Amino acid sequence: MLVDKNKLEATAERMAGMDTVKGRSLWADARTRFMRNKAAVISLFVLMLVILFAFTGQFFAAWSNEEIDWAILGQVRELGYPSFETGHYFGADELGRDLYARVVQGSRISLMVGVVGTFIAVFVGTLYGAIAGYMGGRVDQIMMRIVDVLMAIPYMFVLILMLVVFGRSIFMLFVGIGLLSWLDMSRIVRGQTLSIKNKEFVEAAQATGVPTFRIIVRHIIPNLLGIVAIYASLIVPGMIMAESFISFLGLGVQEPDTSWGALISEGAKTMSYGTLWQLAFPLAFFVVTLFSLYFIGDGLRDALDPKDR
């Protein structure tokens, strides 16, 4: 077999350049796998656009979210349609407010609920699950029974009860949604902890006398991050949906604040007047975002946990 001399030389040259082989970490591996998943990458791009829209969209708005366009008030159906001339890119709502500005505002709140709720769920769930799993025995039994009991409670009803009792505010919504959604996370984390805690490095830490809590935080939790990342990305859409559900019922965010759920609800109420854009734009943002979040979650799962397919 003839050896292509040019190719050989090129290879040799390339090899000479790589005097140190760069190791590939778990995360670098996962990144390459994630990048190979087209649906996930496109979704990530779309999600970036939505986030960009939510946080910088107000700079391009012709109207603020509080201003009322008196010129079209009362004739929203005839004059409030989406148009670049009037500056209402997405049209106006029945109070003459600019829907574009409202959607920007609503997207911001919906996305923030997703992030903050997930953050609380991750924080509480990881710590709780890691402690239960690492301690084992009776502590584990009691802690997981508590999770079982809480899981059986229809949490949307309790959440609404909480919101009514403590007053409706975005803060309460964040806390409520976060606090009621760490349960799944804690179960998953506990399971993973059980398989980690008998590894040699944990034994080594125990042998050198590292305090228990420190072992959990420094040795157990970093090794859980992969699975935590996967499930965190999978619960973000759930958070956004929960918030939208409550706001759709009119029990969540309050005027002048808004969210996708509240906007969809407004649009649904007014669609019989023919102002369809009030439903279409918030709905489109909601559906597109959830879609991309699901695909990103799937991509992350495939990337970080390749054996589980």
Closest to other proteins by CB, 114 or 261: 261
Pick the closer one to other proteins by CB: 38 or 214: 38
What is the spatial distance between Cα 127 and Cα 135, in angstroms, rounded to a whole number?
Answer: 12
> What is the three-class DSSP state of 92?
strand
Q: Least distance (Å) from other proteins to the CB of residue 168?
A: 10
Q: Is 85 exposed, middle or buried (0-12, 13-18, 19+ CB in 10 A)?
A: exposed
Using the minimum distance from each CB to other proteins, give the nearer residue, 183 or 224: 183
Nearer to other proteins, 102 or 219 (CB): 102
Residues 41, 76 contacting (CB under 8 angstroms): no
Cβ neighbors of 186 (< 8 A, separation 6 or more) are 124, 125, 126, 128, 129, 132, 147
- Minimal distance, residue 136 CB to other proteins, in Å: 17
d(CA 309, CA 298): 10
Please give the single-letter amino acid code of residue 307: K
Nearer to other proteins, 135 or 276 (CB): 276
Q: Of 71 and 161, which has the nearer Cβ to other proteins? A: 161
Q: Which has the closest alpha carbon to 178: 129, 236, 237, 116?
A: 116
Quick check: 177 and 251 in contact, CB under 8 A?
Answer: no
Helical packing angle, 170-179 and 155-166, nearest 10°: 150
Please give the Cα distance from 86 to 83 (Å, whole number).
6
Distance separating alpha carbons of residues 115 and 120, to the nearest angstrom: 9
Residue 257: count other Cβ atoms within 10 Å of its Cβ: 18
CA 180 to chain centroid, in Å, comes to 15
**β-sheet bridge partners, residue 98:** 92
| Smallest gap from residue 52 Cβ to other proteins (A) | 21
Query: In the complex, what is the shortest distance from the CB of residue 178 to other proteins, in angstroms, rounded to a whole number?
Result: 17
Nearer to other proteins, 152 or 207 (CB): 152
The least distance separating other proteins from the CB of residue 264, rounded to whole angstroms, comes to 7
Task: Note the residues at the interface with other proteins (CB under 8 A).
Answer: 145, 148-150, 152-154, 156-158, 160-167, 237, 241, 244-245, 248-251, 261, 264-265, 267-268, 271-272, 276, 279, 283, 286-287, 290-291, 294
Closest approach, Cβ 115 to other proteins, in A, equals 18
CB of 138 to other proteins, least distance (A): 16
- Give the C-alpha separation, 5 to 8, whole Å: 5
Q: Give 253 or 290: the residue with its C-beta nearer to other proteins.
A: 290
CB of 243 to other proteins, least distance (A): 11
